Amino acid sequence: MGYTKTAILMAAMTALFVGIGYLLGGSGGLVIAFVVALAMNAFTWWNSDKMVLRMHNAQPVAPNDRMGLHAMVTELARNANLPMPAVYLIDTPQPNAFATGRNPSHAAVAVTSGLLQTLDRDQVAAVVAHELAHIKNHDTAIMTVTATFAGAISMLANFALFFGGSRERLGIIGTIAMMFLAPVAAALVQMAISRSREYEADRIGAEICGNPMWLASALEQIQKGAARIDNPAAERNPAMAHMFIINPLHAHSRDKLFSTHPATENRVAALRAMVGTTPAQTVPASRIPLVRRNRKSGPWT
């Protein structure tokens, strides 16, 4: 049902984009919008990992890193029967993480320095497992494409007043209404896609790491940190906020209607309900090395 819902919502996003093209330029605008939608999907799908990692100034983590992060991801990827993703570190004090990439063979997992400073080894393993679940579910490309569509729909809507055809078809009041309602509709669809995928990633992530409570406690810790610590790169690129394990935005007031994530307490409750039903993992996270960085130490190497 999760994939069916996602497919329906993606179709709705595409239809909204093409529909706005028709309202702006008639049948010609519809064709142009459809072609642009296909081009956007192709470009974003192919370049999603590079785009997002560059936005957050993520730096690659070497296989022999002193933190043991790469080794942890390696073991968990083996548990998940996934190809080894690239591993990146984002130097920001806010605890958070995300995954990106067009498919499991071209994927990356990025964690923040704040995550490694705040969480213990088992919690970090659970967060990595959650991100690997997104990769396993092919969520990473879907979420990047929806963010691109949401931005493009907002851009088209803002151009409405400059197109005479739209004023003739809708009138000035209808055109102004479209300018406001189209971005709202796009945002709602984007959030619905993100929320539907987070619950599934939580469930599969708990199976990968072998203990739902590790992820439940990690989500609670990350929520506390994200609520009080700024993430400037995320604030500059709010359309990508839904890719993080916990919403990184808090510096600006935002309506809960447009929240990119389900309520953390609901996610934690669902994970607690899994206790006793999760199959044992191949390699316990307690055996996976991870050296936590001292807050006063120098830059990551």
* Residue-wise burial string across 70-109, b where 16 or more C-beta atoms lie within 10 A, e elsewhere: bbbbbbbbebbebebbbbbbbebebbbbbbbbbebebbbb
In the block, residue with structure tokens 């070497």: 62
Distance CA 131, CA 281 (A): 16
Residue 235 a catalytic site member: no
Q: Does residue 61 contact residue 115 with C-beta atoms inside 8 Å?
A: no
Per DSSP, 108 falls in state E
Kindly state the tokens that stand for 247: 């919403």
Report how far apart, in Å, the C-alpha atoms of 256 and of each of 137, 143, 249 are. 26, 19, 12
Long-range contact list for 170-173, CB < 8 A, 24+ apart?
170/23
Candidates 131, 198, 200, 207; catalytic one: 131
257, exposed or middle or buried, with CB in 10 Å at 0-12, 13-18, 19+?
exposed
Q: Whole-angstrom Cα distance, residue 236 to residue 247?
A: 14
Side-chain half-sphere CA neighbours of 184 within 13 A: 7
Taking Cα atoms as reference points, which of 84, 205, 203, 191 lies closest to residue 143? Answer: 191
Yes or no: say if 58 and 30 are a contact pair by the CB < 8 Å rule: no
What is the rounded distance in angstroms from the CA atom of residue 217 to the CA atom of residue 176? 46
Q: Which residues are catalytic?
A: 131
